[in-house]
Structures are given as C-alpha cells and as structure tokens.
C-alpha cells in the first residue's frame, strides 16, 4: 500500500491531556549548531555552539512541537548575541504558545593572541555561555571562562629559590545594563592574574611569562577581589559573580574562591 504523504496527519501534540499537570520546561537539549557571534573588531566570528531551548507546557497540551525549536534556531543562528536573543525568546513564546521561554548557548570564542616577547601568533579559545529566559521580562546572563597563570605569594615568601605556580581558571558571570563585549571581560581577567596564558610561546616568551608571574604573585582570593573590583565599577554590568579555581601544582587539592555582587552602576 502506498501512503499519500500529501494527506494531513494527526497532530498528536495538540491533543488534550487530562492529568492537569503543567511542565516547567520542554524542548531540545544539547544540539550542536553553527552560529555567528559578534566581535569587537566589527566582524562576526563563526563557531559551533551547544544549544538548549525550552518553553513551559500548559497542562491542556499533550506535547510540544520539537521541530519548531530547530526552525527558530536555523532562522536566528547567523547572529546569536545578547542583542538578538531577546527577540528569539519572544518568538519562541509566540510559536510554541508558551508563557515562559529559556535558551542556553555554549560556544568556544577564539581570539588571535600574540606572544609577549616574540610576537608569535596563536589562537586562544575561551568557553562562553549565554543564558536567557523570559518569565515576566527578558533576563540575560553571560558566562566567560578565562585561563590564567597564578603564582603563590606564600611559596615565594618562604623559598630561597623560585615559587610554585599553577594554571587556573576564572569564570565570570554577569548581567548587563548595556552591551558588553566578550573581549572586554577577557581583558579584565587577564590583567588581574599573575600572568595570562598563551597558545604559542618561544624561549624569550617563556622567560617573559615566568618572570612576570614571579613579580606578580597572587592567591585565588587576590584574583577574585581584583577582578570583582574592576567589574563592580564597569558601567555596562548590573550584577556579576567571579569564580577562581587553581589546579595546584604541589597540593592534592585545588584552591578556590567565589563571590557575587551587584554592580555600583546597577540601573
């Protein structure tokens, strides 16, 4: 028997459900998709994101329309920034007949970075996430993770020669009053570390970063406070958190610090 695909099929999702239980989030989770992200230089960076999209489901509906999430993602993926996500959230609510909408977009953001002495070029990758949701209003939260080098002040103070250092990560989450470039956040963090991290280093660069870190020892507490001080004064930031974790080179544990604050410029 040959099926006539032109004949309308039953829309099971729209059938009623008699259990009268609303679902808080339904949708798609962790789909990989190519997106475009705005760069401070004026261009658009092409990268690959992991995207999750959800809406609430009214108790009267049996299911949601999963394909509509992909259709919306395909329409908006060329510019997936904090300026366009609010419109995407509103469109999700409209097309899926929902009260609430949520989206999470995680992606690597690449910056061409020059080694400090030789000028050798290499791409650095920074993990970024944009989270947005609509309940009574649009709320956006951006997360940027930056690798750093930290040198232990205590080790330097008690040692006749040298001091132990480690690679750490600083994760900044923030809500903004106005548009804030990802590059701005990365530069703030790297400026407040013992030294920043590079993908390409020649011998003269290794000497430079080793000596820079030795001259600028910092605990995780120091890094957290210094980054927070910069973020608190930033005109574009309404709220932020700073998380610092060092992968200790001589201890069996990691060192950790966390704080969150409203900005001095909260509107």
Report pLDDT digits (tens) over 189-213. Answer: 999 999 999 999 999 999 999 999 9
User: What's residue 13's pLDDT?
Assistant: 61
Domain boundaries, the chain: 21-262
User: What's residue 70's pLDDT?
Assistant: 94
The predicted-structure confidence for 12-68, as pLDDT tens digits, reads as follows: 566 677 788 999 999 999 999 999 999 999 999 999 999 999 999 988 888 788 999
The b-or-e profile of 88-111 (16+ CB within 10 A means b, else e) is bbeebbeebebebbbbbbebebbb
**Residue 174 has what DSSP assignment?**
E
The b-or-e profile of 54-79 (16+ CB within 10 A means b, else e) is bbbbeeebeebbeebbeebbeebbee
With CA atoms as reference, report the closest residue to 103 among 87, 83, 82, 89.
89
The predicted-structure confidence for 53-106, as pLDDT tens digits, reads as follows: 999 998 888 878 899 999 999 999 988 888 899 999 999 999 999 999 999 999
What dotted CATH number matches 21-262? 3.10.270.10
Of the pLDDT bands very low, low, confident and very high (cuts 50, 70, 90), residue 266 is low
User: What's residue 7's pLDDT?
Assistant: 58
Per the CB < 8 A criterion, the answer to whether 59 and 20 are in contact is yes
CB atoms within 10 A of CB 122: 13
Whole-prediction pTM: 0.89
Q: Across 76-194, where does the E strand assignment appear?
A: 101-114, 121-134, 138-151, 165-176
Q: Phi and psi of 178, rounded to 5°?
A: -150, 175
């Amino acid at each position: 028997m040959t099926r006539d695909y032109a004949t309308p099929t039953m829309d099971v999702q729209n059938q009623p459900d008699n259990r009268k239980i609303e679902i808080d989030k339904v949708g798609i989770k962790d789909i990989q998709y190519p997106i475009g992200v705005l760069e401070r230089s004026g261009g658009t960076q092409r990268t690959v994101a992991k995207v999750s999209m959800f809406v609430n489901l009214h108790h009267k509906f049996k299911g949601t329309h999963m394909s509509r999430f992909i259709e919306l993602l395909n329409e908006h993926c060329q510019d997936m920034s904090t300026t366009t996500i609010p419109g995407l959230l509103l469109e999700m609510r409209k097309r899926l007949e929902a009260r609430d909408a949520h989206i999470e977009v995680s992606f690597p953001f690449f910056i061409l970075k020059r080694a400090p002495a030789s000028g050798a070029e290499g791409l650095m990758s920074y993990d970024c996430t944009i989270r947005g949701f609509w309940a009574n209003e649009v709320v956006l939260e951006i997360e940027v993770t930056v690798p750093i080098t930290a040198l232990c002040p205590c080790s330097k103070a008690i040692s006749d020669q040298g001091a132990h250092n480690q690679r750490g990560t600083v994760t900044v989450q923030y809500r903004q009053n106005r548009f804030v470039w990802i590059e701005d956040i990365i530069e703030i963090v790297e400026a407040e570390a013992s030294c920043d991290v590079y993908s390409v280093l020649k011998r003269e660069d290794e000497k430079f970063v080793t000596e820079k870190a030795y001259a600028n020892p910092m605990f995780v507490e120091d890094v957290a406070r210094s980054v927070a001080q910069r973020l608190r004064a930033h005109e574009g930031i309404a709220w932020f958190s700073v998380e610092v974790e060092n992968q200790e080179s001589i201890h069996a544990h990691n060192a950790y610090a966390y704080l969150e604050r409203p900005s001095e410029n909260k509107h």
